[in-house]
Amino acid sequence: MHWTYSLPIPATLDQQTVRACLKAWLIPKRIQGQLRQGRRIIVNQRPASVATIVHTNDQLTLVFVPTDFRTPKSAYLPDSTQTVPILYQNADLLVVNKPAGVKSHPNQPGETGTLLNFLAAQTAAQAGAPYMVHRLDQMTSGAMLVALNPVVVPILDRLISSKAIRRTYRAWVRGRFATDRGQFTAPIGRDPLDKRKRWVNTADAQPAVTDYQVLTTAGDHSLVELHLHTGRTHQLRVHLAASRHPIIGDPLYDPLAKRAPRLLLHAIELQLIIPFTGESVRVNAPLPAIFNDLERLKTY
């Protein structure tokens, strides 16, 4: 098993070394070293080193092998009982519209019925396989990014951690805000009283930043758009609950959760940076119908 990439050198990397190209493409240093040691770097069909100078439109070929990666093989059991809507796909990744109530990935050996299990079945016909990049909580719906090979997993991880890949959410929350936009900055850690939960300003709290903007209201509820600057567990849910605006239907943080049929949190957009090309792509996941039923929302 191996993965071969033949990459034309763009004008932005003209007269740069192969090493500079690998760095620009966010390939981890450990993997750069293994490509070098394994002599798996080729320029214009000739073996090359990381010190080789390349020019615009040269063809740089990289051959990746399983030992380059911590998780070279996708081992999710295929489950064809549900088809996941695909919003965007290329050879390296896809963005799906995750349904509410479906777990992102299995937690136990042999477990099925999760998004990654469904995608294992869907991608098998294309000789592909899903690899986890980030996750959405079980009750959250919307755009979720999945890799199709281990090569792009560390690249996508770095793009997410550097905020080059941006995620936008919408949520219906309880109450009205004093201002139409703002920022939550309270650090988040484990709730000392409930191991299922997180909370703000705990002893182990880590920095957490969330932007919000109020889009509309219905009764005593507000629809907000949310942007993550950090990625703490339950960050959106905790920041909103701590501000006394819990997300409607949140089983952990909304005292009136039983009134609503589901957690009203949806990942509406992913702004992607495509590995190796640097192309920016916006992928939108349509709002579920429940988000637009204002009269019904007033009863939750």
Share of the chain above pLDDT 70, in %: 100
Active site residues: 137
pLDDT at 125: 79
pLDDT band at residue 170, thresholds of 50, 70 and 90? very high
> Phi-psi category of 220—alpha, beta or left, where left has phi over 0 and alpha has psi -120 to 50?
alpha
Domain boundary among 126, 150, 174: 150
Residues 25 and 59 in one domain: yes
Q: CA 134 to CA 93: how far, in whole Å?
A: 12
Domain span at residue 258 reads 166-267+292-297
Tell me: pLDDT of 59 over 80.
yes
CA 113 to chain centre: 20
Residues 262 and 170 in one domain: yes
Is residue 50 included in any domain, yes or no? Answer: yes
pLDDT band at residue 272, thresholds of 50, 70 and 90? very high
Counting runs of H as helices and runs of E as strands, what totals does the chain give? 6, 18
Q: CA 76 to CA 66: how far, in whole Å?
A: 17
| Tens digit of each residue's pLDDT (9 = 90 or more) over 190-243 | 999 999 999 999 999 999 999 999 999 999 999 999 999 998 999 999 999 999
**Mean pLDDT estimate for the chain:** 96
pLDDT at 1: 83
Q: What is the CATH number of the domain that holds 78?
A: 3.30.2350.10
| Tens digit of each residue's pLDDT (9 = 90 or more) over 136-155 | 999 999 999 999 999 999 99
Q: How many independent structural domains does the chain possess?
A: 3
Mean pLDDT of 65-85: 95
pLDDT at 6: 97
Reading the block at residue 41, the tokens are 């770097």
Lowest mean pLDDT among 53-57, 125-129, 144-148, 296-300: 125-129
pLDDT at 126: 79
Is residue 273 included in any domain, yes or no? Answer: no
| Tens digit of each residue's pLDDT (9 = 90 or more) over 91-116 | 999 999 999 999 999 999 999 999 99
Identify the bridge partners of residue 174 per DSSP, sorted by sequence position.
221
Is residue 56 included in any domain, yes or no? Answer: yes
pLDDT band at residue 14, thresholds of 50, 70 and 90? very high
| Tens digit of each residue's pLDDT (9 = 90 or more) over 27-50 | 999 999 999 999 999 999 999 999
Tell me: pLDDT of 80 over 90.
yes
Residues 32 and 113 in one domain: no
Cβ–Cβ under 8 Å, residues 198 and 238: yes
pTM of the predicted protein model: 0.93
Residues 22 and 76 in one domain: no
